[in-house]
Amino acid sequence: MKHSAFIIFLYIGLSFGAHLEKELLDYLFKGYNSQIKPVENYTDDVLVGVQLTPIAIRDVDEKTQTLSTSLWIGYHWRDESLKWNPNNYSGITGLRVNINQVWIPGICIINELTDQKCLNFDEKGMAFVWYKGYVFYNKPLESTIQCKLDMSAYPFDEQICTYVFHPYSTTAHDFGYLKNETYIILAYMDTNDEWDVVSTSSTFRVDVSIPKWPFRTARLSIVLKRRPNYVIINVFVPIFILSILNLMTFLLPVESGEKMGMTLAIFLTFAVFVTLISDSMPKSSENLSFFGNYVGGQLIISGMTIVLETIVIKVYLKESAPPVETGSKDSLNKHSPTHQECKQHDLDRWKRFALQLERYFCVFTVLATLSTVLYLVLGITVMRRTIAQ
């Protein structure tokens, strides 16, 4: 009997609570129009707070210059028509309602590339309404935004990607942002193998590109720093080793017959690395990568090495014509070296000249290689300081 009485009282309580919620909903939405700005004084602005909660970075595509993330995006604003006294409804302080029942701000992420860039009147989902008139709405989003990437300091680069919120249906006189409540939340974000999140920031502007219709925009920025270890181990170290091997070709004896084969193999390897790096870089003439230019410089030096080694081999194997014989045969036999001795002498002279020439070419190649390394170090150092400022 006791259990039956408890169940009956619980059923009555729940029924009474559901009745109160229905009564409250009828009270709030009686005569409510979701297309009318929800303010008591129509000249007042509707202030909206926006929170981005990234869950994971899915991809940073350098070639298409996009940032793809999985995130939750939350909006909240005050609707003067959705207020009530909790004491009149048994302490009910909040309700869940369909989002398409209430007024929603006309707001878009203008650099969003997916179809979910705007809050529309046909929005689906549930909103939470607090008794003081505040409406909270959260939605998941698989976001891909356009983000201009500066690859100058690659692979030690930092990138700033910005979510630009822009109203699509109201002007600056009707729509604004709660500056202290518009930000990015990183508490739930998973770590990424390639990128670290350094910081976030929020800025607010009035877009006056159309003077008669100024718009307020909010910019939520996230600063990403690349983890360079993978690129260093798999790209930079092999290229550095190849540049050293390129210098070693000058130490290889001509008689071995392997000089041209080695230089050509190194040149083709450099060409492969240049192709791989260029395929992953944006096709832009601005903000060229110092690292990409360094690899291109090594390719040029490798090509020059082929030319220089060709000259060395050509000179080394050069044969001089025998000296012209004048006078009597007896006189030549008595006072001049034999024809074979003269030819051997000329061959040695060209070989010595070729080896001396190769030393000069080696010094020139070493200086060119060191200059490209210095260019890479100074370029990346300057760019990192510029980004830090």
Per residue, what are the HEC states of 319-383?
CCCCCCCCCCHHHHHHHCCCHHHHHHHHHHHHHHHHHHHHHHHHHHHHHHHHHHHHHHHHHHHHH
- Encoded tokens for 375: 């260019």
Which residue range(s) make up the domain with 297?
A: 230-388
Q: Are residues 96 and 143 in the same domain?
A: yes
Query: Residue 221: CB partners within 8 Å, gap ≥ 6?
Result: 160, 161, 162, 163, 200, 201, 202, 203
SS3 of residue 283 by DSSP:
coil
Q: Are residues 206 and 237 in the same domain?
A: no
Q: Are residues 281 and 319 in the same domain?
A: yes
What whole-number distance in Å separates Cα of residue 120 and Cα of residue 58?
26
Q: What is the tens place of the pLDDT at every residue in 159-218?
A: 999 999 988 766 655 778 888 999 999 999 998 989 999 999 999 988 777 777 777 889
pLDDT above 90 as % of the chain: 33
- String of DSSP letters for 252-281: S-GGGS-HHHHHHHHHHHHHHHHHHHHHHS
Q: Are residues 148 and 257 in the same domain?
A: no
Average pLDDT over the chain, rounded to an integer: 82
Q: What is the tens place of the pLDDT at every residue in 250-263?
A: 888 887 778 888 89
Tell me the pTM: 0.78
SS3 of residue 179 by DSSP:
helix
Q: Are residues 211 and 272 in the same domain?
A: no
Structural domains in the chain (count): 2
Q: Are residues 194 and 278 in the same domain?
A: no
